[in-house]
Amino acid sequence: MSLLTHDTIGILKEAKTPEDCIIAAGEYLEKGGYITNDYTKAMIKNFEINGPYFVLAPALAMPHARPTDGVLKNGISLITLKTPVNFGSENDPVKVVLALATSSSDEHLEYMSKIAMALREEDIIERIYHCQSIEEMMNII
């Protein structure tokens, strides 16, 4: 997952609501120049309209929006939450949020496939969640 960098990882972030989680993950992408704030707003709007469809596995949320909503370049942010958050999904509570920003639908599918392959490893979400440093997380990923 080469789109994930030290600068796009946050450990034990404070968040009380799903929207807080999305904002926290979006901030890493915004600061890195991957997206505009419009993209973060679009991720929140997707949640408000469509519900927690992006809570793809137990404890994992992967919010995203359309490339036209403000993607400047491809990027991924990953945050772990200090306190797990309920999104209203059967896979609640969410402990890890991985925000995906891609500049085309084809790239979106490509990275979703790569992420799915990376997450197939047994207990990978729990291992990521319990990381104490960015270096430790990068080694696991």
**Catalytic annotation, residues:** 64
Written as six digits, the tokens of 75 are 């990027």
**How many C-beta atoms lie closer than 10 Å to residue 64's C-beta?**
23
Sheet holding 94-101, edge to edge: 9-13, 75-85, 94-101, 60-61
Distances (CA, A) of 8 to 33, 91, 99: 11, 24, 10
